[in-house]
Each structure stands twice: as structure tokens, then as C-alpha cells.
Structure 1
Amino acid sequence: MGIKLVILDYDLTFVDNYVDFYEAYSSTLKTYGCEPPGFDKFMEMLEHDMLEDSVPAGISKDDFWRLFRRLYVSRHGVLKKGCREALIALKTKYHTKTVIISGRESSPSFIWMELRRLGVDEFIDEVYTLQDLVYLNGVEESLFDKTWLINYVMRKHGVQPCQTVFLGDYITDYVSALKSGVYFIGVNQSEVRGGLMRKKGVSLVAKDFYDVLLHLSSLNHVMC
């Protein structure tokens, strides 16, 4: 039967928007009275997966990252290399549903506005953020866990885990995919971050969406 549903994380997976990430991170630090690092230092911490442990002492990590994801909005994003071509292929060759599940806790309307600005909104069927968990009475077992939303989307569209692929750039995306039983493709143009994902057990890591298409083609032959 092959691929029926492709779920995409948004920030740093679907789009390159490091400035948006930096602005949200800096605003969160300032809210807590802390001075943010320069952009180069921020990028170094992101590259080496050090941001999670960068929350200043005395501040709840959960509170910090929940505020961060509420402040995260779309302003400076550009499509990942090959993204438009991949979206066209998903619709014309694979005839899949394409759904974005973002780790933000802000309104999906921000993402829809950017999708329209980027000219790819017609290729996306639905957008969810972690804000939707509140409206849907969903469960977030740990911070940035997307398992419940992945399962919700599969149920809504009548698709099995073995017909579903989830694309993400971070290890929490991979863990959510494992818990949901869906196939996972890591998306990281950085050799360092891609290597970190492989060390965590991710077998398929793509540098861009041209690589994603190659992985999807190989997966399509082994899916139920």
C-alpha cells in the first residue's frame, strides 16, 4: 500500500528559521532577567545540542521552554532545499496527506501565514501545534512530545503507523516517532547534528528534501 501520510515538524525541518529560533530564545532569557548570548554563540550551542542544558540555574527548564515555544513565531523562515519539489512529489506521485505538527505552543495561524508567504500552503492539508493539545484534550507525556498528536492525525485520516512517515530535526521528534510506531527520517544539513541523531539511533538522516525523496522512495517499497 505504501506511504499514505507524511507528517513534518516545522522549525528547522520544513524551514530554515534560525533567526526566529534565536529571537524566541533571547526573548525568553530576557523575560527571566538574563542576558542572551550573541547569535554566533547561540548557533554553536544549537549545533552541539547544548541548548537544552543552557537554561540558567534557578529557572525551571519546563517553564523556560514552555514560554519559549509560546513566543516562537514565523518571520524569517525560508524553505529547506528541495522542500517545494518534495511537496509536489508527495501530492502527484505518492498522493499522500501532508500534515505539519510543530513543537510550538503558539497558534497554527502563524505557520499558515508563513506557508502562504512561501507559496506552499496548497500542498499542506493540516497544521497542528502543541497549543492544539489543549483544545483536543491531548496528552504531552514529556516536553515537546508529539506522540499524541501523531496518533490523533493517523486516526483522523484512517492511516496505520506502517503507512506513516514523520520528518524531524530533533531527538524528541525521533522519540515521538518510536512511541507512535511510525517511520522516521531525520532532517539535518549539519554534519554534526546529523551525526548526533545517528548516535541516538536514527538510521535515516537527510541533508535536504532531495535526500528525503530518496529515503521515501526506498521506504515506500517496504511499507504495509
Structure 2
Amino acid sequence: MSHFEMIIFDLDGTLLDTVEEVASAMNDALLESDLPGITLDQARSWVGKGAAHFLTQVLEHHQLQHAVDFDALLNLFYHHYELRSGTLSQLYPHVRESLETLRKSKRKLCVVSNKFKRGTDKVLRAHRLDHLFDDVFGGDSFEQKKPDPVAVHFLMQKHGVSPEQVLFIGDSSTDVATARNAGVEVWVVPYGYNHGEAVEKSMPDSIIDDFSVMLHRLSCA
């Protein structure tokens, strides 16, 4: 068995394909505000750095960044996303069975996402994954978001593990940078959201095709 005592997972683009419900929630908020909408492909390139960054990208694309009440529109997006959470998202292949197997191994399993905490919790509950994790943090759980390592450092201290005992699983350059900043190993999946760029460019420690490969490597390491 591997030496990893704790495995930290990103959420969007790693465990779940959530871009359709994120885009739909944004379009709900934009429509209610009489603003032009966005496409699914645009959303796929803009998600991953938190809702405020996502909204900034939307407004800059439409050249509306100085024409709207940003905070009001962001709160409206949060409202619509809570309604949409778990309705249009789906698990990536082998995620559920892999997490259930890892849960039996007594490792600490955690989620660190840049999605706001309420939305993170709701989508995990909707897909019946919430009981598999020891801790779940969102982008508003700490003052800083990923790639700041504050959440990883907190988890290491809470559970008494060293950086060498921690593995971060993600899908983007943000996740790779988070792991590097925390001094922990990072593996990435190639199917998620990486701001329109190939995730290989971020130089992770390993690229895994899907969660079955992750499970095999952890079992054989």
C-alpha cells in the first residue's frame, strides 16, 4: 500500500462534471438582470478559480465590468447555483467506487474546492458523496482560496500528517500550484477544467486517466 495517509480532492472537474449547472446558474442570474448569457464552452474555460473570478470573466467578456453591481450579481449567482446544485452535474467514471474503497482503507479523505462552501456541500450531498469525506472546504472557508495552501496546511495540522503523507488530486494548474505551495505530491486527471489549456503544462507529479488508475497506483505503490 502507498505511504499516503491523507488524500485531498478538488471537486469541479475532478470528482464531478459540474460545468453545465454552473453555466446554467450564471445564465439564470444574467437573464434575471437583463444581461447577455454565456455558452457552455465559455464557462468551461472560466470555472475553477471561484465564483468571483468566474463572474469577472463573464463581465469582461461582455465589457460590462463597470456597468453592473458586482456584489449584487454575485449574490444572485449564488442563489441560483444553490437551486441548480446537483441537478445537471454527474460523477466522472469510477469516482464513487474508488472513494468507497479508499474510505475502507482508513485514509483521511478531504475536499478542497474554490466553489463556495454551501454549493460544495450541496452538490456532494446531491450525489451522495458527502459521507465519504472527513473534511470539506470551499473557497470561502478561509480568507484565501487555492492556490494558497492554507486549507492543505490546516488539514495536515488537524490530522497530524506530514507533507510526504499527503496526496492532492486535481484537474488544473490551480491544483498543481496549491500542492506545490503546500509541499505535497499532486496527481491530475486530464478531463477537467484547466482554463482552456492542457494540464500537462503545469507539470504535475503524475497524470492519471481516471480514478481507477489512481486506485490501482495507490494499492500497488
Question: Mapping of 1:113-192 within 5 angstroms?
Answer: 113-133=122-142, 139-140=143-144, 144-189=146-191
Report the equivalent of 2:13: 12
Task: Quote the Cα distance in structure 2 between the aligned partners of 1:41 and 1:115.
Answer: 24
Write the distance in 2 (CA, Å) between the matches of 1:210 and 1:156. Answer: 28
**Match of residue 74 from structure 2:** 67
* 2:114 alignment partner AA: G
Residue matched to 1:86? 98
Residue 178 of structure 1 and its aligned partner are, at CA, apart by 0.5
Structure 2 residue identity aligned to 1:167: I
Distance 1:58 1:195, change over 3 A: closer
C-alpha displacement of 1:20: 1.7
TM-score by length of 2: 0.74
**1:101 and 2:112 are equivalent in the alignment:** yes
The equivalent of 1:21 in structure 2 is 22
Alignment partners' CA distance in 2, 1:170 and 1:28: 26
CA distance in 1, matches of 2:157, 2:76: 26
Shift, 1:29, TM fit = 5.0
Superposition deviation, residue 116 in structure 1: 3.5
Number of the residue aligned with 1:213: 215
CA–CA separation in structure 2 for the residues paired with 1:144 and 1:85: 27
Contact 1:104-1:130 within 8 A present in 2 as well: yes
Q: Which amino acid aligns with 2:20?
A: V
Which residue pairs with 1:204 in the alignment? 206
Structure-2 change in CA distance of 1:12 and 1:158 (3 Å)? same
Matches of 1:169 and 1:198 in 2, distance apart? 10
- Residue 46 and residue 213 in structure 1: after superposition, are their counterparts in 2 closer, same or farther (change >3 A)? farther
Could you tell me how far apart the structure 2 residues matched to 1:112 and 1:172 are? 21
Q: Percent identity over the alignment? A: 23
What is the CA-CA distance between 1:113 and the residue it aligns to?
3.9
1-side partners of 2:129 and 2:11: how far apart? 13
In the TM superposition, what is the alpha-carbon distance from 1:32 to its structure 2 partner? 7.4
**Are 1:164 and 1:183, in contact at CA under 8 Å, matched by a contact in 2?**
yes
Does the 8 Å contact 2:120/2:138 carry over to 1? Answer: no
Partner of 2:51: none
Tell me how far 1:34 sits from its aligned partner. 3.7
Cα distance in 1, alignment partners of residues 107 and 148 from structure 2? 20
Cα distance, 1:10 vs structure 2: 1.1
Residues 215, 19 of structure 1: CA spacing in aligned structure 2 closer, same or farther, 3 A cutoff?
A: same
Q: How many residues were matched structurally?
A: 202
3-state secondary structure, aligned to 1:6: strand
**Contact 1:204–1:215 (Cα < 8 Å) also in 2:** no
